[in-house]
Chain A
Amino acid sequence: MEPAGTDGPAPADQVREAVDTIYRAESRRVLATLIRLLGDFELAEEALHDAFTAALERWPRDGLPANPRAWLVSTGRFKAIDTIRRRARFDASLNQVAERLDATDGGAEWEEEGVEDDRLRLIFTCCHPALPPDAQVALTLREVCGLTTEEIAHAFLSTPPTVAQRIVRAKAKIRDARIPYQIPSRDDLTPRLDIVLHVIYLVFNEGYSASSGRTLTRHDLSGEAIRLGRLLVELLPEPEAVGLLALMRLHESRRPARTSAEGELVLLVDQDRSLWDREQIAEGVALVERALSSRRFGPYTLQAAIAAVHAEAPTAAATDWAQIVGLYDVLARVDPSPVVALNRAAAVAMRDGPLEGLALIDAILARGELEDYHLAHSARADLCRRLGRTAEARSSYERALALVRQDPERRFLQRRLEELPG
Protein backbone atom coordinates (compact mmCIF):
# COMPACT_ATOMS: atom_id res chain seq x y z
CA MET A 1 0.00 0.00 0.00
CA GLU A 2 1.48 3.34 -1.09
CA PRO A 3 1.47 6.08 1.49
CA ALA A 4 -0.11 9.23 0.09
CA GLY A 5 2.23 11.74 1.72
CA THR A 6 5.98 11.68 1.38
CA ASP A 7 6.89 14.06 4.20
CA GLY A 8 6.70 11.39 6.88
CA PRO A 9 3.87 10.55 9.24
CA ALA A 10 1.10 13.11 9.75
CA PRO A 11 0.30 14.37 13.24
CA ALA A 12 -1.98 11.97 15.15
CA ASP A 13 -4.83 14.49 15.53
CA GLN A 14 -4.89 15.13 11.85
CA VAL A 15 -5.02 11.42 11.09
CA ARG A 16 -7.80 10.88 13.61
CA GLU A 17 -9.76 13.65 11.93
CA ALA A 18 -9.13 12.07 8.53
CA VAL A 19 -10.30 8.69 9.82
CA ASP A 20 -13.47 10.33 11.16
CA THR A 21 -14.16 11.94 7.81
CA ILE A 22 -13.49 8.70 5.96
CA TYR A 23 -15.70 6.82 8.40
CA ARG A 24 -18.61 9.15 7.73
CA ALA A 25 -18.14 9.08 3.98
CA GLU A 26 -17.12 5.49 3.38
CA SER A 27 -18.09 3.19 6.23
CA ARG A 28 -21.41 2.12 4.65
CA ARG A 29 -19.75 1.43 1.30
CA VAL A 30 -17.00 -0.58 2.99
CA LEU A 31 -19.60 -2.52 4.98
CA ALA A 32 -21.68 -3.25 1.87
CA THR A 33 -18.64 -4.72 0.12
CA LEU A 34 -17.50 -6.67 3.18
CA ILE A 35 -20.93 -8.30 3.49
CA ARG A 36 -20.57 -9.55 -0.08
CA LEU A 37 -17.00 -10.76 0.40
CA LEU A 38 -17.66 -12.41 3.76
CA GLY A 39 -21.25 -13.52 3.17
CA ASP A 40 -22.34 -12.59 6.67
CA PHE A 41 -23.65 -9.37 8.24
CA GLU A 42 -22.24 -9.90 11.73
CA LEU A 43 -18.82 -10.90 10.50
CA ALA A 44 -18.76 -7.91 8.15
CA GLU A 45 -19.65 -5.51 10.95
CA GLU A 46 -16.88 -6.87 13.15
CA ALA A 47 -14.50 -6.64 10.21
CA LEU A 48 -15.52 -3.03 9.57
CA HIS A 49 -14.86 -2.17 13.19
CA ASP A 50 -11.50 -3.97 13.14
CA ALA A 51 -10.48 -2.23 9.92
CA PHE A 52 -11.11 1.23 11.36
CA THR A 53 -9.33 0.32 14.58
CA ALA A 54 -6.34 -0.79 12.50
CA ALA A 55 -6.50 2.46 10.53
CA LEU A 56 -6.27 4.47 13.75
CA GLU A 57 -3.20 2.46 14.74
CA ARG A 58 -1.36 2.35 11.46
CA TRP A 59 -2.20 5.50 9.54
CA PRO A 60 -0.46 7.85 12.01
CA ARG A 61 2.68 5.76 11.51
CA ASP A 62 2.47 4.88 7.81
CA GLY A 63 0.53 7.84 6.46
CA LEU A 64 -2.86 7.74 4.74
CA PRO A 65 -3.13 5.06 2.04
CA ALA A 66 -3.70 6.24 -1.52
CA ASN A 67 -7.10 4.54 -1.62
CA PRO A 68 -8.44 4.41 1.95
CA ARG A 69 -11.58 2.51 1.00
CA ALA A 70 -9.61 -0.25 -0.71
CA TRP A 71 -7.28 -0.42 2.28
CA LEU A 72 -10.23 -0.72 4.67
CA VAL A 73 -11.93 -3.45 2.64
CA SER A 74 -8.84 -5.61 2.32
CA THR A 75 -7.83 -5.05 5.96
CA GLY A 76 -11.35 -5.88 7.11
CA ARG A 77 -11.35 -9.01 4.98
CA PHE A 78 -8.02 -10.23 6.38
CA LYS A 79 -9.15 -9.50 9.94
CA ALA A 80 -12.32 -11.54 9.35
CA ILE A 81 -10.34 -14.48 8.00
CA ASP A 82 -8.13 -14.28 11.11
CA THR A 83 -11.20 -14.26 13.31
CA ILE A 84 -12.61 -17.33 11.58
CA ARG A 85 -9.26 -19.13 11.83
CA ARG A 86 -9.18 -18.44 15.56
CA ARG A 87 -12.70 -19.75 16.00
CA ALA A 88 -11.83 -22.79 13.88
CA ARG A 89 -9.66 -24.04 16.74
CA PHE A 90 -12.91 -24.78 18.55
CA ASP A 91 -15.06 -25.56 15.53
CA ALA A 92 -13.20 -27.41 12.79
CA SER A 93 -15.97 -26.87 10.22
CA LEU A 94 -14.96 -23.19 10.09
CA ASN A 95 -11.63 -24.12 8.52
CA GLN A 96 -13.38 -24.67 5.22
CA VAL A 97 -15.06 -21.28 5.49
CA ALA A 98 -11.69 -19.62 6.11
CA GLU A 99 -10.11 -21.46 3.20
CA ARG A 100 -12.94 -20.52 0.86
CA LEU A 101 -12.67 -16.86 1.88
CA ASP A 102 -8.93 -16.93 1.54
CA ALA A 103 -9.12 -18.51 -1.90
CA THR A 104 -11.36 -15.77 -3.29
CA ASP A 105 -9.05 -13.06 -4.45
CA GLY A 106 -9.57 -10.12 -2.15
CA GLY A 107 -7.45 -7.78 -4.22
CA ALA A 108 -8.95 -7.36 -7.65
CA GLU A 109 -12.32 -8.96 -7.07
CA TRP A 110 -14.12 -5.94 -5.76
CA GLU A 111 -13.18 -3.30 -8.27
CA GLU A 112 -14.74 0.13 -8.19
CA GLU A 113 -17.71 -0.53 -10.49
CA GLY A 114 -18.84 -3.39 -8.28
CA VAL A 115 -18.77 -1.23 -5.18
CA GLU A 116 -21.87 0.80 -6.04
CA ASP A 117 -23.70 -2.46 -6.79
CA ASP A 118 -22.83 -3.61 -3.29
CA ARG A 119 -24.73 -0.66 -1.84
CA LEU A 120 -27.79 -1.61 -3.92
CA ARG A 121 -27.40 -5.24 -2.84
CA LEU A 122 -27.41 -4.05 0.76
CA ILE A 123 -30.53 -1.92 0.29
CA PHE A 124 -32.46 -4.70 -1.44
CA THR A 125 -31.39 -7.28 1.13
CA CYS A 126 -32.45 -5.08 4.06
CA CYS A 127 -35.82 -4.56 2.31
CA HIS A 128 -36.34 -8.21 1.36
CA PRO A 129 -40.04 -9.16 1.40
CA ALA A 130 -39.31 -12.22 3.55
CA LEU A 131 -38.42 -9.84 6.42
CA PRO A 132 -41.20 -8.26 8.51
CA PRO A 133 -41.88 -4.59 7.62
CA ASP A 134 -40.66 -3.13 10.93
CA ALA A 135 -37.44 -5.11 10.57
CA GLN A 136 -36.97 -3.80 7.01
CA VAL A 137 -37.09 -0.25 8.34
CA ALA A 138 -34.81 -0.90 11.32
CA LEU A 139 -32.29 -2.87 9.30
CA THR A 140 -32.15 -0.26 6.52
CA LEU A 141 -31.56 2.56 9.01
CA ARG A 142 -28.94 0.52 10.84
CA GLU A 143 -26.98 -0.97 7.93
CA VAL A 144 -27.51 1.44 5.05
CA CYS A 145 -27.69 4.72 6.99
CA GLY A 146 -25.46 3.73 9.89
CA LEU A 147 -27.86 4.90 12.60
CA THR A 148 -27.39 3.34 16.03
CA THR A 149 -30.11 1.18 17.57
CA GLU A 150 -30.60 3.96 20.16
CA GLU A 151 -31.23 6.50 17.40
CA ILE A 152 -33.68 4.19 15.63
CA ALA A 153 -35.50 3.43 18.88
CA HIS A 154 -35.77 7.13 19.67
CA ALA A 155 -37.09 7.94 16.20
CA PHE A 156 -39.78 5.27 16.32
CA LEU A 157 -40.70 5.72 19.99
CA SER A 158 -39.48 2.23 20.72
CA THR A 159 -36.84 0.89 23.10
CA PRO A 160 -33.27 0.00 22.10
CA PRO A 161 -33.68 -3.68 23.15
CA THR A 162 -36.80 -4.01 20.97
CA VAL A 163 -35.04 -2.51 17.97
CA ALA A 164 -31.89 -4.56 18.62
CA GLN A 165 -33.93 -7.74 18.77
CA ARG A 166 -35.70 -6.89 15.54
CA ILE A 167 -32.34 -6.40 13.83
CA VAL A 168 -30.82 -9.56 15.29
CA ARG A 169 -33.80 -11.64 14.17
CA ALA A 170 -33.71 -10.16 10.69
CA LYS A 171 -30.01 -10.93 10.33
CA ALA A 172 -30.60 -14.46 11.59
CA LYS A 173 -33.29 -14.95 8.97
CA ILE A 174 -31.04 -13.58 6.22
CA ARG A 175 -28.41 -16.12 7.24
CA ASP A 176 -30.59 -19.14 8.09
CA ALA A 177 -33.13 -18.94 5.28
CA ARG A 178 -30.32 -17.84 2.95
CA ILE A 179 -31.70 -14.58 1.66
CA PRO A 180 -29.23 -13.82 -1.14
CA TYR A 181 -27.14 -10.65 -1.30
CA GLN A 182 -28.42 -9.65 -4.70
CA ILE A 183 -29.95 -6.95 -6.80
CA PRO A 184 -33.29 -8.39 -7.97
CA SER A 185 -33.59 -9.62 -11.54
CA ARG A 186 -35.37 -7.48 -14.12
CA ASP A 187 -38.61 -9.52 -13.67
CA ASP A 188 -38.60 -8.95 -9.95
CA LEU A 189 -37.38 -5.39 -9.91
CA THR A 190 -40.70 -3.52 -9.80
CA PRO A 191 -42.24 -5.29 -6.79
CA ARG A 192 -38.89 -5.31 -4.97
CA LEU A 193 -38.28 -1.61 -5.67
CA ASP A 194 -41.79 -0.86 -4.36
CA ILE A 195 -40.77 -2.26 -0.98
CA VAL A 196 -37.60 -0.16 -0.89
CA LEU A 197 -39.56 2.97 -1.82
CA HIS A 198 -42.17 2.15 0.80
CA VAL A 199 -39.49 1.79 3.49
CA ILE A 200 -37.93 5.13 2.52
CA TYR A 201 -41.33 6.85 2.47
CA LEU A 202 -42.20 5.39 5.85
CA VAL A 203 -38.98 6.76 7.32
CA PHE A 204 -39.71 10.13 5.74
CA ASN A 205 -43.26 10.25 7.05
CA GLU A 206 -42.22 9.25 10.53
CA GLY A 207 -39.91 12.25 10.43
CA TYR A 208 -42.38 14.54 8.71
CA SER A 209 -45.50 13.87 10.71
CA ALA A 210 -44.66 11.51 13.50
CA SER A 211 -47.61 9.16 13.96
CA SER A 212 -47.86 9.84 17.67
CA GLY A 213 -46.17 11.78 20.40
CA ARG A 214 -45.60 15.35 21.46
CA THR A 215 -43.67 16.87 18.60
CA LEU A 216 -45.00 17.20 15.10
CA THR A 217 -41.86 16.42 13.16
CA ARG A 218 -38.57 14.62 13.60
CA HIS A 219 -36.34 16.45 11.22
CA ASP A 220 -33.38 14.06 11.28
CA LEU A 221 -35.42 11.14 10.08
CA SER A 222 -36.77 13.08 7.09
CA GLY A 223 -33.24 14.14 6.24
CA GLU A 224 -32.12 10.52 6.43
CA ALA A 225 -34.97 9.45 4.12
CA ILE A 226 -34.04 12.14 1.60
CA ARG A 227 -30.39 11.03 1.69
CA LEU A 228 -31.54 7.44 1.10
CA GLY A 229 -33.82 8.53 -1.72
CA ARG A 230 -30.98 10.46 -3.33
CA LEU A 231 -28.65 7.47 -3.03
CA LEU A 232 -31.27 5.24 -4.63
CA VAL A 233 -31.79 7.65 -7.53
CA GLU A 234 -28.04 7.78 -8.01
CA LEU A 235 -27.73 3.99 -8.03
CA LEU A 236 -30.97 3.07 -9.76
CA PRO A 237 -32.68 6.00 -11.51
CA GLU A 238 -36.08 4.35 -11.94
CA PRO A 239 -38.94 6.85 -12.50
CA GLU A 240 -40.72 6.06 -9.24
CA ALA A 241 -37.49 6.44 -7.25
CA VAL A 242 -37.12 9.89 -8.86
CA GLY A 243 -40.81 10.58 -8.12
CA LEU A 244 -40.42 9.66 -4.46
CA LEU A 245 -37.37 11.91 -4.07
CA ALA A 246 -39.37 14.73 -5.69
CA LEU A 247 -42.28 14.12 -3.32
CA MET A 248 -40.03 14.21 -0.26
CA ARG A 249 -38.26 17.38 -1.42
CA LEU A 250 -41.56 19.14 -2.08
CA HIS A 251 -43.04 18.16 1.28
CA GLU A 252 -39.83 19.10 3.03
CA SER A 253 -39.89 22.53 1.37
CA ARG A 254 -42.99 23.41 3.41
CA ARG A 255 -41.53 22.40 6.76
CA PRO A 256 -40.74 25.95 7.97
CA ALA A 257 -44.38 26.96 7.35
CA ARG A 258 -46.09 23.89 8.79
CA THR A 259 -45.82 24.91 12.40
CA SER A 260 -46.31 28.30 14.00
CA ALA A 261 -43.74 29.90 16.30
CA GLU A 262 -45.67 28.30 19.17
CA GLY A 263 -45.29 24.85 17.61
CA GLU A 264 -48.90 24.71 16.46
CA LEU A 265 -50.00 23.03 13.25
CA VAL A 266 -50.69 25.31 10.26
CA LEU A 267 -52.78 23.88 7.41
CA LEU A 268 -51.54 24.08 3.84
CA VAL A 269 -54.13 26.72 2.87
CA ASP A 270 -53.12 28.93 5.82
CA GLN A 271 -49.35 28.61 5.45
CA ASP A 272 -47.12 31.62 4.87
CA ARG A 273 -45.79 30.65 1.46
CA SER A 274 -42.87 33.04 1.68
CA LEU A 275 -41.42 30.58 4.21
CA TRP A 276 -41.39 27.72 1.69
CA ASP A 277 -37.91 26.66 0.67
CA ARG A 278 -37.63 27.71 -2.99
CA GLU A 279 -34.45 25.76 -3.59
CA GLN A 280 -36.08 22.50 -2.52
CA ILE A 281 -39.14 23.33 -4.62
CA ALA A 282 -37.00 23.95 -7.70
CA GLU A 283 -35.23 20.63 -7.23
CA GLY A 284 -38.53 18.84 -6.53
CA VAL A 285 -40.23 20.29 -9.61
CA ALA A 286 -37.28 19.36 -11.83
CA LEU A 287 -37.42 15.80 -10.47
CA VAL A 288 -41.17 15.54 -11.07
CA GLU A 289 -40.70 16.63 -14.66
CA ARG A 290 -37.96 14.07 -15.10
CA ALA A 291 -40.14 11.27 -13.66
CA LEU A 292 -43.22 12.30 -15.69
CA SER A 293 -41.26 12.41 -18.93
CA SER A 294 -40.38 8.73 -18.50
CA ARG A 295 -44.07 7.84 -18.98
CA ARG A 296 -43.52 4.87 -16.64
CA PHE A 297 -44.42 6.72 -13.48
CA GLY A 298 -46.67 5.59 -10.65
CA PRO A 299 -48.25 6.83 -7.43
CA TYR A 300 -45.17 8.57 -5.96
CA THR A 301 -44.65 10.66 -9.09
CA LEU A 302 -48.35 11.56 -9.20
CA GLN A 303 -48.34 12.64 -5.56
CA ALA A 304 -45.21 14.66 -6.26
CA ALA A 305 -46.95 16.28 -9.24
CA ILE A 306 -49.81 17.29 -6.95
CA ALA A 307 -47.35 18.70 -4.43
CA ALA A 308 -45.66 20.60 -7.27
CA VAL A 309 -48.95 22.28 -8.27
CA HIS A 310 -49.34 23.46 -4.66
CA ALA A 311 -45.71 24.57 -4.54
CA GLU A 312 -46.08 26.72 -7.62
CA ALA A 313 -49.33 28.43 -6.55
CA PRO A 314 -48.76 31.92 -5.13
CA THR A 315 -51.75 31.58 -2.75
CA ALA A 316 -54.18 28.83 -1.73
CA ALA A 317 -56.99 30.59 -3.63
CA ALA A 318 -54.88 30.86 -6.78
CA THR A 319 -54.14 27.11 -6.76
CA ASP A 320 -55.08 25.24 -9.91
CA TRP A 321 -57.59 22.98 -8.14
CA ALA A 322 -58.91 21.61 -11.42
CA GLN A 323 -55.46 20.28 -12.23
CA ILE A 324 -55.14 18.82 -8.75
CA VAL A 325 -58.47 17.02 -9.06
CA GLY A 326 -57.34 15.72 -12.47
CA LEU A 327 -54.11 14.38 -10.99
CA TYR A 328 -56.07 12.72 -8.16
CA ASP A 329 -58.30 11.08 -10.79
CA VAL A 330 -55.22 9.50 -12.37
CA LEU A 331 -53.80 8.61 -8.96
CA ALA A 332 -57.07 6.94 -7.93
CA ARG A 333 -56.81 4.70 -10.99
CA VAL A 334 -53.25 3.66 -10.09
CA ASP A 335 -53.88 3.50 -6.35
CA PRO A 336 -57.60 3.07 -5.64
CA SER A 337 -57.26 3.54 -1.88
CA PRO A 338 -59.79 5.32 0.37
CA VAL A 339 -57.13 7.83 1.50
CA VAL A 340 -56.60 8.92 -2.11
CA ALA A 341 -60.38 9.20 -2.48
CA LEU A 342 -60.49 11.39 0.65
CA ASN A 343 -57.79 13.72 -0.66
CA ARG A 344 -59.56 13.91 -3.98
CA ALA A 345 -62.78 14.85 -2.17
CA ALA A 346 -60.97 17.68 -0.38
CA ALA A 347 -59.67 18.95 -3.74
CA VAL A 348 -63.15 18.73 -5.26
CA ALA A 349 -64.43 20.81 -2.34
CA MET A 350 -61.88 23.49 -3.25
CA ARG A 351 -62.76 23.35 -6.95
CA ASP A 352 -66.58 23.03 -6.79
CA GLY A 353 -67.50 24.01 -3.25
CA PRO A 354 -67.92 22.34 0.16
CA LEU A 355 -71.26 20.69 -0.63
CA GLU A 356 -69.77 18.63 -3.48
CA GLY A 357 -66.80 17.63 -1.32
CA LEU A 358 -69.02 16.67 1.59
CA ALA A 359 -71.12 14.36 -0.60
CA LEU A 360 -67.94 12.51 -1.61
CA ILE A 361 -66.61 12.21 1.96
CA ASP A 362 -69.97 10.97 3.22
CA ALA A 363 -69.95 8.33 0.48
CA ILE A 364 -66.46 7.17 1.57
CA LEU A 365 -67.51 7.04 5.23
CA ALA A 366 -70.72 5.22 4.29
CA ARG A 367 -68.57 2.47 2.80
CA GLY A 368 -67.06 2.17 6.28
CA GLU A 369 -63.56 2.50 4.90
CA LEU A 370 -62.13 5.40 6.89
CA GLU A 371 -64.37 5.16 9.96
CA ASP A 372 -61.31 5.18 12.26
CA TYR A 373 -59.18 7.67 10.35
CA HIS A 374 -59.18 11.00 12.18
CA LEU A 375 -58.40 13.03 9.05
CA ALA A 376 -61.59 11.80 7.36
CA HIS A 377 -63.66 13.15 10.25
CA SER A 378 -61.74 16.41 10.54
CA ALA A 379 -62.08 17.00 6.78
CA ARG A 380 -65.82 16.36 7.08
CA ALA A 381 -66.03 18.69 10.10
CA ASP A 382 -64.25 21.42 8.17
CA LEU A 383 -66.67 21.24 5.24
CA CYS A 384 -69.68 21.22 7.59
CA ARG A 385 -68.24 24.27 9.34
CA ARG A 386 -67.90 26.10 6.03
CA LEU A 387 -71.50 25.19 5.20
CA GLY A 388 -72.73 26.54 8.56
CA ARG A 389 -73.84 23.08 9.74
CA THR A 390 -72.49 23.65 13.23
CA ALA A 391 -73.98 20.63 14.98
CA GLU A 392 -72.63 18.23 12.37
CA ALA A 393 -69.25 19.97 12.41
CA ARG A 394 -69.12 19.61 16.18
CA SER A 395 -69.84 15.88 16.19
CA SER A 396 -67.28 15.25 13.44
CA TYR A 397 -64.58 17.26 15.26
CA GLU A 398 -65.35 15.27 18.38
CA ARG A 399 -65.06 12.01 16.48
CA ALA A 400 -61.70 13.15 15.02
CA LEU A 401 -60.51 14.17 18.50
CA ALA A 402 -61.33 10.73 19.84
CA LEU A 403 -59.14 9.15 17.16
CA VAL A 404 -56.16 11.54 16.90
CA ARG A 405 -52.90 10.37 18.46
CA GLN A 406 -50.63 13.34 18.01
CA ASP A 407 -50.67 16.30 20.40
CA PRO A 408 -50.28 19.24 17.95
CA GLU A 409 -53.07 17.80 15.80
CA ARG A 410 -55.22 17.33 18.89
CA ARG A 411 -54.69 20.97 19.92
CA PHE A 412 -55.53 22.07 16.40
CA LEU A 413 -58.83 20.17 16.41
CA GLN A 414 -59.60 21.44 19.89
CA ARG A 415 -59.14 25.03 18.72
CA ARG A 416 -61.38 24.47 15.71
CA LEU A 417 -64.02 22.96 17.94
CA GLU A 418 -63.89 25.89 20.35
CA GLU A 419 -64.12 28.36 17.50
CA LEU A 420 -67.47 26.95 16.36
CA PRO A 421 -70.31 29.39 16.99
CA GLY A 422 -72.18 28.55 20.23
Chain B
Amino acid sequence: MKYLCLIYDEEKKLSSLSKSEYDSLMSEYFAFTDAIQKSGHYLGGEALQPVQTATTVRVRNGKVSTTDGPFAETKEQLGGFYFINARDLNDAIQIASKIPSARLGSIEVRPIMEFDKP
Protein backbone atom coordinates (compact mmCIF):
# COMPACT_ATOMS: atom_id res chain seq x y z
CA MET B 1 0.00 0.00 0.00
CA LYS B 2 1.20 3.49 -0.84
CA TYR B 3 1.45 6.35 1.62
CA LEU B 4 2.52 9.94 1.33
CA CYS B 5 4.53 11.22 4.28
CA LEU B 6 4.13 14.99 4.43
CA ILE B 7 6.92 16.70 6.32
CA TYR B 8 6.00 19.74 8.37
CA ASP B 9 8.75 21.88 9.85
CA GLU B 10 8.96 25.25 11.47
CA GLU B 11 10.90 27.18 8.87
CA LYS B 12 11.90 29.70 11.52
CA LYS B 13 13.46 26.94 13.59
CA LEU B 14 15.26 25.49 10.56
CA SER B 15 16.68 28.82 9.44
CA SER B 16 18.07 29.46 12.91
CA LEU B 17 20.21 26.31 12.79
CA SER B 18 23.97 26.82 12.62
CA LYS B 19 25.83 25.69 9.52
CA SER B 20 27.11 22.55 11.20
CA GLU B 21 23.67 21.71 12.66
CA TYR B 22 22.12 22.16 9.24
CA ASP B 23 24.75 20.01 7.58
CA SER B 24 24.28 17.21 10.03
CA LEU B 25 20.50 17.34 9.50
CA MET B 26 21.05 17.11 5.75
CA SER B 27 23.40 14.16 6.07
CA GLU B 28 20.79 12.45 8.25
CA TYR B 29 18.27 13.00 5.47
CA PHE B 30 20.63 11.53 2.87
CA ALA B 31 21.25 8.50 5.06
CA PHE B 32 17.52 8.04 5.66
CA THR B 33 16.70 8.27 1.95
CA ASP B 34 19.45 5.79 1.23
CA ALA B 35 18.09 3.37 3.82
CA ILE B 36 14.50 3.39 2.54
CA GLN B 37 15.71 3.01 -1.03
CA LYS B 38 17.63 -0.10 0.01
CA SER B 39 14.67 -1.50 1.99
CA GLY B 40 12.38 -1.03 -1.00
CA HIS B 41 10.00 1.42 0.69
CA TYR B 42 11.03 4.44 -1.35
CA LEU B 43 8.91 5.52 -4.31
CA GLY B 44 9.87 9.18 -4.38
CA GLY B 45 10.56 12.22 -2.29
CA GLU B 46 11.47 15.88 -2.56
CA ALA B 47 12.25 18.85 -0.39
CA LEU B 48 10.38 22.09 -1.07
CA GLN B 49 11.67 25.63 -1.22
CA PRO B 50 10.54 27.84 1.67
CA VAL B 51 6.96 29.00 1.94
CA GLN B 52 7.81 32.59 0.78
CA THR B 53 8.19 31.07 -2.67
CA ALA B 54 4.66 29.66 -2.64
CA THR B 55 1.83 30.90 -4.81
CA THR B 56 -1.80 29.93 -4.39
CA VAL B 57 -3.96 29.65 -7.49
CA ARG B 58 -7.76 29.55 -7.59
CA VAL B 59 -10.28 29.67 -10.39
CA ARG B 60 -13.63 31.26 -9.55
CA ASN B 61 -16.28 31.94 -12.17
CA GLY B 62 -13.73 31.11 -14.81
CA LYS B 63 -11.36 33.76 -13.52
CA VAL B 64 -7.89 32.81 -12.35
CA SER B 65 -6.78 34.49 -9.17
CA THR B 66 -3.23 34.24 -7.95
CA THR B 67 -2.14 35.14 -4.45
CA ASP B 68 1.10 35.11 -2.61
CA GLY B 69 1.81 32.45 0.00
CA PRO B 70 0.13 29.30 1.17
CA PHE B 71 -3.59 28.76 1.63
CA ALA B 72 -3.39 29.12 5.41
CA GLU B 73 -0.82 30.52 7.80
CA THR B 74 0.33 27.85 10.22
CA LYS B 75 3.11 27.42 12.74
CA GLU B 76 4.59 24.54 10.78
CA GLN B 77 4.94 24.57 7.03
CA LEU B 78 4.95 21.80 4.47
CA GLY B 79 8.63 21.40 3.68
CA GLY B 80 8.84 18.19 1.71
CA PHE B 81 7.51 14.69 1.30
CA TYR B 82 8.34 11.06 0.88
CA PHE B 83 6.19 8.80 -1.24
CA ILE B 84 6.53 5.28 0.14
CA ASN B 85 5.33 1.74 -0.29
CA ALA B 86 4.56 0.10 3.05
CA ARG B 87 3.02 -3.17 4.18
CA ASP B 88 0.41 -1.41 6.32
CA LEU B 89 -0.04 1.66 8.52
CA ASN B 90 2.22 0.28 11.26
CA ASP B 91 5.01 -0.14 8.71
CA ALA B 92 4.38 3.39 7.38
CA ILE B 93 4.43 4.84 10.91
CA GLN B 94 7.71 3.04 11.52
CA ILE B 95 9.21 4.70 8.41
CA ALA B 96 7.73 8.12 9.22
CA SER B 97 9.17 8.02 12.73
CA LYS B 98 12.66 7.79 11.22
CA ILE B 99 12.34 10.88 9.03
CA PRO B 100 14.71 13.37 10.71
CA SER B 101 12.03 16.10 10.84
CA ALA B 102 9.81 13.86 12.99
CA ARG B 103 12.00 15.00 15.91
CA LEU B 104 11.75 18.71 15.01
CA GLY B 105 8.34 19.11 13.43
CA SER B 106 5.78 16.48 12.49
CA ILE B 107 4.98 14.01 9.75
CA GLU B 108 1.49 13.50 8.41
CA VAL B 109 1.00 10.00 7.02
CA ARG B 110 -1.72 9.75 4.39
CA PRO B 111 -2.75 6.60 2.56
CA ILE B 112 -3.04 7.01 -1.19
CA MET B 113 -6.51 6.64 -2.63
CA GLU B 114 -6.78 3.94 -5.22
CA PHE B 115 -9.37 4.27 -7.95
CA ASP B 116 -10.79 1.33 -9.84
CA LYS B 117 -10.03 1.48 -13.55
CA PRO B 118 -13.20 2.25 -15.49
Binding site for B on A (CB under 8 A): 93, 128, 130, 176-180, 182, 184, 188
Contacts and interface: CB of A to CB of B under 8 A. Distances in A.
A177 B90 contact: no
B116 A180 contact: no
A88 to B, nearest CB: 13
B93 interface: yes
B75 interface: no
Contacts of A128: 89
Contacts of B116: 93
Interface string B75-118: 00000000000011111010000000000000001010000100
A180 B111 contact: no
Contacts of B109: 177
A176 B3 CA distance: 11
Nearest to B111: A177
B111 A176 contact: yes
Interface of B: 1, 87-91, 93, 109, 111, 116
Residue from the set B89, B109, B111 with the largest chain A CB neighbour count within 10 Å: B89
Contacts of B1: 178
Contact of B90 (A93, A176, A182): A182
B93 A180 contact: no
A114 B111 CA distance: 30
Contacts of A188: 90
A180 B86 CA distance: 11
Nearest to A185: B90
Contacts of B88: 178-180
Nearest to A188: B90
Contact of B93 (A93, A130, A182): A130
23 contacts: A93-B116, A128-B89, A130-B89, A130-B93, A176-B111, A177-B89, A177-B109, A177-B111, A178-B1, A178-B88, A178-B89, A178-B111, A179-B88, A179-B89, A179-B90, A180-B87, A180-B88, A180-B89, A180-B90, A180-B91, A182-B90, A184-B90, A188-B90
Given A93-B116, A177-B109, A182-B90, 6 more contacts: A178-B88, A178-B89, A179-B90, A180-B87, A180-B91, A184-B90
Nearest to A192: B90
A180 B88 CA distance: 6
Contacts of B89: 128, 130, 177-180
B108 to A, nearest CB: 12
Question: Shortest 6 CB-CB distances between A and B: which pairs?
Answer: A180-B88, A178-B88, A177-B111, A179-B89, A177-B89, A178-B1
A188 B97 CA distance: 13
Contacts of B90: 179-180, 182, 184, 188
A130 B88 CA distance: 12
A93 B88 CA distance: 21
A179 B116 CA distance: 21
A178 B87 CA distance: 9
A64 to B, nearest CB: 39
A179 B91 CA distance: 9
A173 to B, nearest CB: 9
Contacts of A177: 89, 109, 111
